[in-house]
Amino acid sequence: MYTAGVDVGAITAKAAVFGDEGCLATALILAGYDRAAAARQVLDQALARARLAGQQIACLVATGYGRVQVPGADRTVTEITCHARGAWYLCPDVRTVIDIGGQDSKAIAVGERGKVLDFVMNDKCAAGTGRFLEVMARALEVDLVDFGHLALSAPRRAKISSTCTVFAESEVITHLAAGADRNEIIAGIHEAIAVRIAAMVGRIPVRDTLVLAGGVAHNAGVARILEEKLGHTIAVPAQAQLAGAIGAALIARD
């Protein structure tokens, strides 16, 4: 039996196609403004890679911010449930999922077979999400892809105390004006986001193994400093960003 999962987020759209043997193919594209079109496109890409046709899919589960706009979806399930399941597939020992997306972040306590036991979300505030890093990278005129490594290269971290992205940005500018080392500021930014995320994670029981998912998972700076704050090692699967789509495809098999 073949199933598919589509995860339409605020920034990217992901798809995964599953067969009895497991994951056959995945795809990831930018979502743009037309979520329905993005959903169709990313699913088509995944199907093409799996060498399957749309009609062969027994069940399609849609998840993510734009889940209600996915054409042809048989069910919609929240990204919390899907991320838990997907993370379990990628890392069967997972007990805690930390998903840091472009616009929100979540921590999920995971039980047997990827079942959600508890969760906490931050979707009100940019600090603690990818947006925070985006804003800061722009303020410092640094490429986001380099951000994490630069953070880890600094021996010290500048202090950024504000919880608000807007306030923090003005703190960064003040540091720059005072001649502080740019990498130390970058390290401070990563410390600030890690502290925020750790505080959120602390509201659910934190158990090994911890898995990082979502777009920001590949920022080594965030991952490393988060490990420090939580006192646990954190696994970052290669397919971290696809956890939602994978979980959706698995749920489609239920």
Residues that bind other proteins (CB under 8 A): 65, 77-81, 104, 115-119, 121, 123-124, 161-164, 167, 170-171, 174, 199, 202-203
Nearest CB to other proteins, comparing residues 108 and 236: 108
Nearest CB to other proteins, comparing residues 79 and 184: 79
Minimum Å gap between C-beta 78 and other proteins is: 4
Hey, what long-range contacts does 218-221 have (CB within 8 A, 24 or more apart)? 218/148, 219/133, 219/147, 219/148, 219/190, 220/148, 220/149, 220/152, 221/147, 221/148, 221/149, 221/150, 221/151, 221/152, 221/186, 221/187, 221/190
Minimum Å gap between C-beta 62 and other proteins is: 12
Q: Beta-carbon neighbour count of residue 161 at 10 Å?
A: 10
Rg (CA), the chain: 19
Give Dmax (Cα) for the chain.
Answer: 62
- The strand pair at 2-8 and 12-19 is best described as antiparallel
Q: Can you tell me which residue has the tokens 């890093």?
A: 133
Minimum Å gap between C-beta 128 and other proteins is: 12
Bond before 209 cis per omega within 30 degrees: yes
Minimum Å gap between C-beta 112 and other proteins is: 13
| Exposure string for 92-105, b = 16+ CB within 10 A, e = fewer | eebbbbbbbbbebb
Spatial separation of the C-alpha atoms in residues 234 and 254, rounded to whole Å: 29
Minimum Å gap between C-beta 120 and other proteins is: 9
Nearest CB to other proteins, comparing residues 123 and 228: 123
Nearest CB to other proteins, comparing residues 29 and 121: 121
β-bridge mates for residue 110, sequence order: 116
Nearest CB to other proteins, comparing residues 50 and 168: 168
Minimum Å gap between C-beta 81 and other proteins is: 5
Could you tell me the sign of the dihedral formed by the alpha carbons of 164, 169, 174, 178, in that order? positive
Q: Beta-carbon neighbour count of residue 69 at 10 Å?
A: 17
Minimum Å gap between C-beta 170 and other proteins is: 5
Nearest CB to other proteins, comparing residues 53 and 164: 164
Nearest CB to other proteins, comparing residues 161 and 233: 161
